[in-house]
Chain A
Amino acid sequence: MPVNPATPGVAAAPSAGSSPVAHHTITLTVNGTQRRMEVAPWTTLLDLLREQMELTGTKKGCDHGQCGACTVLVNGQRINSCLALAVSKDGAEVVTVEGLAMDGTLHPVQAAFIEQDAFQCGYCTPGQICSAVGLLKEGHARNADEIRELMSGNICRCGAYPNIVAAIEQAMQQAGGSAR
């Protein structure tokens, strides 16, 4: 797997022979705080969050949109931040795992993950939790089968799937069932 060095914030030297590439100024609201930042065109949202904003809760797993460890909510929707160019998200509202708790109270999904023991090593957990928050908001899952199907974009190498599904079921029940 090719390594994708984190280069955000550094005006990387353009490859030999090509003209210098301009950086772009973007505005993002991250976990409720608006920030203006300089980004290189090739900086992914994931690298921006981790390297430039020090929000390392969001994890880099495969870096190819296959594992879901990098899942964040952009304008309320869960996406793979590793496949999103930060520059293309100018003006967006981003919520990461660091932004889910309110005034020291865990988000119901976070609390349910603890109560149901829904993780082992924890590496996939921020992505699992952000993905589950997105799933609840979407309101398309009505039972365990549908939770499993709609969480299929988040891989857990430890195999904590049964407890992850239980945690999401618990959070769903607390939220009053699915939206439809």
Chain B
Amino acid sequence: MIRFSYSRPGAVGEAVQAVQADAGAKFIAGGTNLVDLMKYDVERPRRLVDVGALPGLDRIEEADGGLRIGALVTNSALAYDARIEQRYPLLARAILSGASPQLRNAATTGGNLLQRTRCYYFYDTGTPCNKREPGTGCPAINGVNRIHAILGTSEHCIATHPSDMCVALAALEATVEVTGPQGERSIAFADFHRLPGEHPEIDTTLAPDEIITAVRLPPQGFATHHTYLKLRDRQSYAFALVSVAAVLEMEGDTIREARLALGGVAHKPWRDPAAEALLRGGPATRERFAEAAALILQAARGYGDNSFKIELARRAIVRALSQAAAGTPQPVADKRIA
């Protein structure tokens, strides 16, 4: 690993100042992604500012009918919190479908939002990569791209965002609370991650000297009609090829509210307002679900190895909506697709 200096400030303001003062500085909390990337020489910070022990950020609190999740709440603590299990089961299940227990015990809520893509070329410093070294090119587009994106790609990058938790947070319309040199601000979850466009090196709308302090969940948790369906090459401890978070509010057989977010298919958790509008007010039938899926995948593009994802996503959307409508969410430990 490269050599770097280390400090552990005692307050959020101090941490922000420390990173603002040094362009080579980065925040570290759980470290499960950053330390790995440093071992691969992909991340080369000159200084690490350890925010992992900042006081007050490891709590889950009631807030305006919803919950406020401190940025340092670990993935395990969040997934097994009784309020999350009861009121936001989609979130608990999405978290438990990702990583391993050891990683979830160390990884934090804020860090999960900021994890980098697992694109092979991004990790391999012997190859070009526009995300790692802007302007060098994207070998994935005409290369090995089984795990890559089919929606929202650009000619510069076809990487995916790897998080499961973020797919659930997108469907739940969470808000990200951040603090920077100019003070505090809130970012709607849909605006937090960005598409690669001309600048795939920038994953989020968070400034380098801003720190995530909390994620807020709105009151509506969709505890009755939800599912997180994750499809992958290995049944545990693997990133999604395609995942679907689906939540519905039903009135009899009619869908009153519908939210769908897809993982493994884009540079950010993918939502399609037109497809959700199509579902709203309509019947919960496979035909209607297939129409929504077709709408979402209208603009999808395969790059060879990953072209199968278009059909896989279409079927996963229909299956997930059927599970959510029936109130039979996909279990985490039972790998059979319900």
Contacts and interface: CB of A to CB of B under 8 A. Distances in A.
A83 B333 contact: no
A148 B100 CA distance: 11
Interface in A13-61: 14-15, 18, 21-22, 24, 40-42, 44
Interface in A155-176: none
B4 A42 contact: yes
B5 interface: yes
Contacts of A88: 8, 28, 31, 50, 52-53
Contacts of B6: 24, 41, 85, 87
Interface string A103-125: 00000000000000000000000
Contacts of B36: 64-65, 83
B80 interface: yes
Interface residues of A, number: 41
Contact of B32 (A12, A41, A80, A135): A80
A131 B101 contact: yes
Contacts of A65: 32, 36, 102-103
B35 A21 contact: no
Interface residues of B, number: 35
A78 B39 contact: no
A30 to B, nearest CB: 18
Interface in B4-25: 4-6, 8
B101 A145 contact: no
Interface string B251-292: 000000000000000000000000000000000000000000
Contacts of B32: 65, 80, 83
B334 interface: yes
Interface string B104-143: 0110000000000000000000000000000000000000
A18 B5 CA distance: 11
Given A78-B102, A146-B333, A149-B332, A21 B5 contact: yes
A42 B101 contact: no
A149 B48 contact: no
Query: What's the dominant secondary structure at chain B's contact region?
Result: loop
B150 to A, nearest CB: 26
Given A24-B6, A88-B28, A140-B80, A79 B102 contact: yes
Contacts of A126: none
Contact of B102 (A22, A40, A153): A153
Contacts of B76: 77, 138
A22 B5 CA distance: 7
A96 interface: no
A148 B102 contact: no
B61 interface: no
A64 B39 contact: yes
Contacts of A84: 31, 35, 106
Interface in B286-336: 332-334
Contacts of B4: 21, 41-42
Nearest to B334: A145
B102 A71 contact: yes
Contacts of B52: 88
A15 B3 CA distance: 7
Interface string B27-68: 010011001101111000010101011000000000000000
Nearest to B106: A79
Contacts of B53: 88
B101 A78 contact: yes
A145 B3 contact: no
Contacts of A42: 1-4, 38
26 contacts: A4-B1, A21-B5, A41-B6, A42-B4, A65-B32, A65-B102, A68-B100, A79-B106, A80-B32, A80-B106, A83-B32, A84-B35, A85-B50, A88-B8, A88-B28, A88-B31, A134-B105, A138-B76, A145-B333, A149-B236, A150-B333, A152-B100, A152-B101, A152-B236, A153-B99, A153-B101
* Ranked 4 nearest A-B pairs via Cβ: A153-B100, A152-B236, A41-B6, A152-B237
